[in-house]
A and B are shown apart, each in its own frame.
Chain A
Amino acid sequence: MGIRLDKPFLPLREDVIKTVQAQLGVYQLANESGEVCYIGCADARSLFGLRGELEQHLEDPGVSGFRVEVTTAYHTRRQELLMLYQADHGELPVRNKDYPFQLGRLSPA
């Protein structure tokens, strides 16, 4: 498994979200320029997994795309994606600024 989530973004629309499985996993949201603006996860409290989480972002202003990865390691995978973003950009995605836990430092080769 590559450590980056680099599959193409899909449009954040109700009909597309309906095709997403109600599984545990991680997801990224993109703004209209196709840049990652949020990294989230569907944890075991999410009623309909990734599908349910994405539905909650349908009305978010400035968000136009999403991509998902199904994984039971949703906590650590989310942290990994946040750490990678931080290593690449020197800061967290704009909608993750209030992430409540300390993140580690990665220096991927």
Chain B
Amino acid sequence: MELSLNNEQQMIVDMVRRFVRDEIIPLEMHLDPDADQLEAEDRDRLVGKVKDMGLYGLDIPVDYGGPDIDVVTRTLMAIEMSQHRAGLYAPCYGVFGGAGLAQLFEASDAQKEKYLFPTLRGEKRGFFGLTEPSGGSDPARAIQTKAVQDGDEWVINGGKIFISGADKADFGLVFARTGGEGRGGVTCFIVDTDTPGFHVRRIVHTLRSAHYATELQFEDMRVPAINILGQLNKGFAIANDRLSRQRIPYSAGCIGIAVKAHEMALEYSKQRQTFGAPLSNRQAIQWMLVDNEIDIKQATWLTLEAADRAHRGDSFRKEAAMCKIVATESAGRVVDRAMQIHGGYGVTKDFPLERWYRELRIRRIGEGPNEVQRHIIARDIIGAGLR
């Protein structure tokens, strides 16, 4: 693995850093501290700038019109893009675009025509419906939503919880049990949200005060058999692929927040005086700053290693699990120390630290709890027999 950025990577990183500094942070001065959306006018203007930079639609494969940027460079960009108040869950407020549901790249031609291409054009939105009230960490066994075949249709009954964006989506990927127990009995359906029997029953408030999840209910919801994504009873592989892949940018976002919090702590510690000297002269504070530095470095290298393995086509499941654990936990510690260094100001909404502190707590649970990540690593290093 190359341990330094090449010229192109450095140029792109610098460009994104300038974009965050010059375009995003000034806008945030006028937004509510918990905001996660820009007004349409600002959003459209910034999307235009990103397109001019040639960086729009980062995750879209080049064959589908996306920029030809490798996963390591995208990881470096993700670290930069999150370095602002809303950056953990709304990096640059989404103006860099995205690929939407990556699973649709494996869809049939007709499905791509109806769902993927309109999504890439920004005309349709999708949601990912996996987790159920019965559990999210072990979806292969927890899924109780049931689909029963009736002629050319499947009738789906059940529910999902903690689903982002379902209330605003045009369609979603819904995982339902079509066979026996375990991962072999799960199928992925593409469901239009205007299908009779599709209900968004309530929104679920969380620590993220500007973003909510939803609870869904399916009542005799009839879905055509042609809307099966992939193969019958092979839906778990579709879900699982996303879960591993997603852990790399998920980790990168945490690192960006940690970098920014650490920068703020460093700056504040040099300005703030106590007992006649700056905080930065105190060993207690110095050690916190040193620990921040170590935490950030560890998380960064593990995340870049996972990205590098993914880029080379090597197995990266274990590395993705490791970087998810280290990045989410170390970023939480870094922000916690930065708050401590800022004293009372650290817990106010005048600074972004309190928002990051709340939102980072979710990251140890989201995209597979860290305990599950440790289980994945244990299974890998001890052997597949461990269950």
Contact = CB atoms under 8 A, between A and B. Distances in A.
Interface of A: 3, 43-45, 72-77, 79-80, 83, 100-109
17 contacts: A43-B34, A44-B32, A45-B33, A72-B209, A75-B34, A75-B210, A79-B203, A80-B205, A83-B167, A103-B168, A104-B200, A105-B193, A105-B200, A106-B201, A107-B201, A108-B201, A109-B199
B47 interface: no
B209 A75 contact: yes
Nearest to B209: A73
Nearest to B31: A45
A80 B217 contact: no
Contacts of B199: 107, 109
B201 A76 contact: no
Nearest to A102: B168
A104 B209 contact: no
Given A43-B33, A83-B167, A104-B168, 11 more contacts: A43-B32, A45-B32, A75-B35, A75-B209, A76-B203, A77-B205, A80-B205, A102-B168, A104-B166, A107-B201, A108-B202
Nearest to B37: A101
B140 to A, nearest CB: 29
Sort A-B residue pairs by CB-CB distance and give the 8 closest, nearest first. Answer: A104-B167, A44-B349, A43-B32, A76-B212, A75-B210, A104-B168, A73-B205, A107-B199
Most chain B CB within 10 A, of A75, A77, A106, is at A75
A83 B349 CA distance: 27
A41 B191 CA distance: 34
Contact of B201 (A74, A100, A104, A109): A109
Contacts of A77: 205
Nearest to A106: B200
B103 to A, nearest CB: 22
A107 B217 CA distance: 10
A22 B37 CA distance: 25
Contacts of B37: 101
A44 B211 contact: no
A101 B41 CA distance: 11
Contacts of A72: 209
Interface in B312-359: 349
B90 to A, nearest CB: 12
B152 interface: no
Contacts, number: 66
B170 to A, nearest CB: 11
B39 interface: yes
Given A73-B209, A101-B37, A80 B32 contact: no
Interface string B77-88: 000000000000
Contact of B34 (A44, A103, A106, A108): A44
Given A106-B167, A107-B201, A100 B209 contact: no
A100 B44 CA distance: 14
Interface in B14-45: 32-37, 39-40
Contact of B32 (A75, A103, A108): A75
A45 B28 CA distance: 12
Nearest to B167: A104
Given A100-B39, A100-B40, A105-B167, A83 B34 contact: no
Contacts of A44: 32-34, 349
A102 B193 CA distance: 16
B345 to A, nearest CB: 14
Nearest to B348: A44
Nearest to A41: B32
Contacts of B40: 100
Nearest to B193: A105
A43 B35 CA distance: 10
Nearest to B208: A76
Contacts of A107: 199-201
Contact of A76 (B33, B193, B209): B209
Interface string B183-224: 000000000010000011111011011111010010000000
Nearest to A46: B32
A86 B210 CA distance: 19
Nearest to B35: A75
A49 to B, nearest CB: 12
Contacts of A101: 37
Nearest to A75: B210
